Every structure is written in structure tokens, then in C-alpha cells.
Amino acid sequence: MPADPLHRAAKPQRSTTSPPTSGSGASAIEVRRSARRRRTVSAYREGDRTVVLIPARMSEAEEQRWVTVMLDKLAAQESRRVLGDTELSERAERLSAQYFEGRARPSSVRWVTNQNTRWGSCTPSEGSIRLSHRLQGMPEYVVDYVLLHELAHLLVPGHGPRFWRLLEAYPRTERARGYLEGVVAADRLPRMPATGDE
């Protein structure tokens, strides 16, 4: 595979891969050190991996600090990105190919504003998938999970063992479910009245 032209640099002096920190959306973090890089630090997603490019002279402590900073920065950028219906359909197609061998083929995938008690819905007989607009701005792995959940319903209508086995293919299923449960729990918390001090 050719090198990414946006991130081409001198051959890295050292490359380390580590498990993700608690806030990252990727399954692995790869740090690439470069003697040509003097001060700048950058990061990008490469599949399920996050690549962080740093100067070779950085200490281990600086490396850790910058990895955390860059992961937070990437997560913030991703949460601001809102997919249109066309991009949502393309994403569903890619996810189906990656996790379900392309067997789940929706006829339509779109955002809707009338789903306030569920994250998504699917009508298998029509092949249509609808995602709640409340997902917009959430991390990509959460949107992907909801898309995969609805795609799985095109293959298995209920929530039986066969359905959950399909979703086991997606490595962030439990994390995404935890995120969504946290959002629901936060919505149920009592609102504190505003005080005059704020």
C-alpha cells in the first residue's frame, strides 16, 4: 500500500504501538518518531489505528502527554463531523462489507428527527434504516455500532442469540453500548436549578 502523501516524512527512528488510552476511539496507538520533525506533532486515523507523529528528540513523558492531547483533539474533530444521508448510506455499505460480508443491503439509510426514545430503527421488509438525529455529534464508533445494529436486523429480525453473535464481530460493541447507556442515564438525572452565582 502506498504511503499517505499527507504524512510522508523521513523514515521513523522508532515506532511503538500501545493499547488505547481510556478516551481513545481506536484499538491501537502507533507513535512514529522522526528526526526531520522538529517541533510539530500530528495525528490521524489509519483504520482502527491512531498514528501519532512526533519529533525524535521528545522524552517518553512528552510523548505520553502529546499522545493524550492528540487523541482528545481527534475525538473532538470526529464528534463535530456530521454525516449526511448519502455519507451515512456509504458508511452502512462499508460496515456491511467489513463485518457482514456485504450480506446486509439496505435500500435506504437516513437521519430522522422523530425518534426520541430509540437510537435507530429498521424495517426489514422495506430494507430501510433510520437513525435518530440525537446520534449526530457522537463519536464515530457509536454511530457505527447503531448502524451495524440496524444492519444486523436486515439479516436477523429479533434480538436473539444469533443477532448478538453477528454484532460480536464489531470490536467496540460493548463500549458503544456503554456510551449510549451513559447518555440515557445522564438524561434521567435531575436537573439542578441554576443559582445566581453562575
The phi and psi torsions of 186 (rounded to 5 degrees) equal -65, -35
The Cα 149–Cα 106 span in angstroms is 12
**Interval 81-86 mean pLDDT:** 76
pLDDT category at 9 given cuts 50, 70, 90 is very low
Residue 196 pLDDT greater than 60, yes or no: no
Least confident of 6-15, 27-36, 59-68, 185-194: 6-15
Residue 13 pLDDT greater than 50, yes or no: no
H helices of 81-139, where?
85-100
Query: Which of 20-24, 36-40, 43-47, 124-128 has the largest mean confidence?
Result: 124-128
